[in-house]
Structure 1
Amino acid sequence: MSGSATLGLRAAGVCVAVTALALAVSQFVPETAGRAQRLAVHAGALALAGAVFWFFTRRLSRSLAEVIAVARAIGSGDYRRRLHLSPGGEFAELAEAVNHMARGIEANISTITDQKTQLQAILDGMREAVLVLDAAGRVRSANPALGRIAPTVGSPLGRRPIEVIASPELQMTCDRLLADGAGPVEGSGAVTLETQLGPGRFYEVSLVRLGIGGTPAEAGVVMVFHDVSETRQLSRVRRDFAANVTHELRTPLTSIKGYAETVLAAAPELAPEKRRFLDVILKNANHMSKMVDDILNLARMEDGQGASPDARAEAGAALADAIRECEPQGQARRLVLDRQLPEGGVAVACDSGQLTQVWRNLLENAIRFGPEGSRIAMTAETDPVRGVATFAVLDQGPGIPPEERQRVFERFYRVERHRSKTPGSTGLGLAIVKHIVERHGGRVWVERGRGEMSGAAFHFSLPLARTADPAAPVAETATEARLATPAQSS
């Protein structure tokens, strides 16, 4: 039974008891008693009833006053206050409910305080600077690392980001994130940009919007500054070293190739053993020359400032150019090329020459690892809603183990168990593919093939060109081009 119902029953019981007592007292007055005596008896009964009511209401008022006082104390932040009422009293259940509420609030506040202390300790110990903005775009909090990268006069709290860090791009990004506190921003509300703060100091800034899906008052932005100056410096040194070394190697390699070719052509009467030695020299010189060219191409691409926004290429035409360049390798191994691209073409936002290089590197990889006489498939799918085209090169080779699928895109990395069986690989082809695709806003990955194409399945995606027709159907063809061996074509 609830506390209010119990209190009401008790009050009704007291009223009934007092009324019954008053009536019972009047029955004991003798009939011979005078009017004055009767009035005195009734007055005494009423006085007794009044005393009982006074005692009862005083007890209730004291209990109620204590409940009010404790509730106000809890509301003011004194979560350790408790109600101490007699067990079985009118407000016993209410007191227990208030005490339970106070214990729960105290536990929650303690947990929040501990978490806040831990978070503050983490922020204070971070090497990365952290800025937190409120819904108005003002700095709400910052950690001490901010002072090391952007010294300010006084506290940064309450200032706009551009007043703390002189970067208009950073300020505009914060304004864009806060412009619509409840709407989506680039899908996840996260943005990454790179900015220079001082000579030779570069920072990668990660911005995450707070309160996604909430009210505008709950919006905010968290900025984390990652110092990438040393990484950029090391990357630049590595690129310069690679470019300088490979440039110096080109002249002696050209001389070696030239002399070997000249001797082979000018001395047909050479002994077979000597001719074999010269063939080995020429073969390895060509391999080294290709590696030098790949390193130089990769260095040039890394020094670029990004893809042109007007770049446009037709994927089918780029694939056709790549097939023509890979034809001698395919003929030597009697491979079947299954070209499954849309007849209407797929226009993507990519440099045409670099897209051809992507296709060529992936085809060379498939030709190198695919079994002799096997099939290689090239496919394409478009997603007009997302504005992305996804391409794939599938082979029937041994595939790539799951633990090595990320590393195959690293420079000079080759799957160990195939190294001795695949001469001619520089270990840079897939790294170049990854760099070109990501430079144009796409991504590249590899997985296990399915069905008949059970080898490696290399996929890469690129943004569709702006003028591409999003309603164009993806009608795949299965035109097979068999590359005959020289003996078969003769």
Structure 2
Amino acid sequence: MATQPKPWAVLDDDADASSSAGPSGASEDTASRPAAPHLRSPVLKFVTSFQSRLNLDPRWSAVPIGLIAIWICIATLIAPSDLGLARWHGIVVAILAAAAMTLLLIGRSAAGDGQDGSRKAIRQALAQRLGIAPGGDVDSLWTNIEAHTANIEQRVNELVQEQRRLQLEASLNSVQRRNLEAILHGMAEPLLVVDRFERILFVNQIAAELLKISASSEVRQPLDQVVSDAKLLDAIRQACQADSRTARRRVELDFANRAFALSMAPLTDSSAGDGASDQPSAHGLVVLFRDVTRERLAAKAKSEFVAHVSHELRTQLSSIRAYTEMLVDGEAADEKTRAEYYGIIQTSADRLGRLIDNMLNISRIEAGTVRINKDPVAVSIIVKEVVDSLKPQAEEKRIALLTDLAPVVDRVMADRDLLYQAVLNLVSNAIKYTPEGGEVTVRMITLEEQNALRIEVSDTGVGIPAEDLPHMFEKFYRVEANKNMAKGTGLGLNLVKNIVEVVHEGKLSLRSEVGKGSTFAITLNKVT
């Protein structure tokens, strides 16, 4: 049967360890006492800890607290079944508790009396130091000292609270600053901030890339030392030196192979005015860069479009007006001449109608307002209709117009009229730019792996120079070397591109070689 551990065994072990670890020399008072292993035991630690927490006088509290702790240790030896000892245990605990409370109250009272005695001793010492009798002025001086001490303590507490508040505000400001910098660095437009001495205060990441500088290392550096573009420096310098501190400026500049609109506004402090006009003082400049390269190109293209359309309209109208006036004036004396004039007028009117139709179709497709009626259509039938309609034009130039068509069952989902217009434009261009005696072939290829149909229009014409190939589908673009071969507006291929890629989500491709001819190809998905 296991032996129950004794409470004093722990005390003995702890005492032995303490005595072995202690200094070799002991005080006379300690040596005169009988051996007490519990003096440095957990019981003593419990007593001292309890005294310090309740601010008790050791003279009055050590005995009752120690007795309670010792009796708790003895109580562990009482068997739970021994009712007599358990009854005595309860009585002793009650007596010790009452005695402890009495001694504790006496100790607290004695501690208070001790503090009053300490204050009285300090007052007497102060009176002796000043050479005056205790009481009277000394008491008044002591009262003032205590009042000032309380005020100082209150002020210190207020300063501590203020310091904590400022630390919290600094932390919040730091977080807000980091968030603001993250937002500015995430902007899609370049942003630059300089002070009134033209030193960089802030530059976001995209502006740093544009100006080829570092977003962090260039801060506080003079702008003219890190930016080499003279036009940009001059624009910023003029804005910084402007008379009106609230003026905003907008300047367009070309640099880094792009066009930018610079919006410049003063960096102001709304809390500080100049005193005279109560206007916020400017201490820097905020410069926002907006890339307007595409807008400028679009405006240029629009101007060129209007110019081309006006020229084409004027040309056809001038021809119609001239021959009409000659007919009215009777300059066509015979029937043959009148028939020739009528033919020229009709040709000019047809060309004018095609120009207007092409412009309207392109505009509607680009604006998304064109009416589209998609149905499964047999491409081979559309190609045959186009070839039949252009045979007279090909025969006039002795051009062989050949076809290699796919089965009628191969169909695509398309707007029949628009697809007819696209194929017609490609075959008509091939005939125009193929010399007499040449050959134009319209071929259809089934792409089984891609589940698509390809319509190829090949010719043995003059071909297209390599430098012109990237621009062939632009509005009003015509190859300079081939302008004398045929008249045109430069809108036909652009219309084909819009019909194929925008309306039908297909693909339009071109390959050409000067002197050998060209091949245009339309690829559309088949109907499954």
Q: Same fold (TM over 0.5)?
A: no
Higher-Rg member (1/2): 2
TM-score normalised per structure 1 = 0.41
**Relative CO higher for 1 or 2, CA cutoff 8 Å, sep ≥ 6?**
1
TM-score by length of 2: 0.39
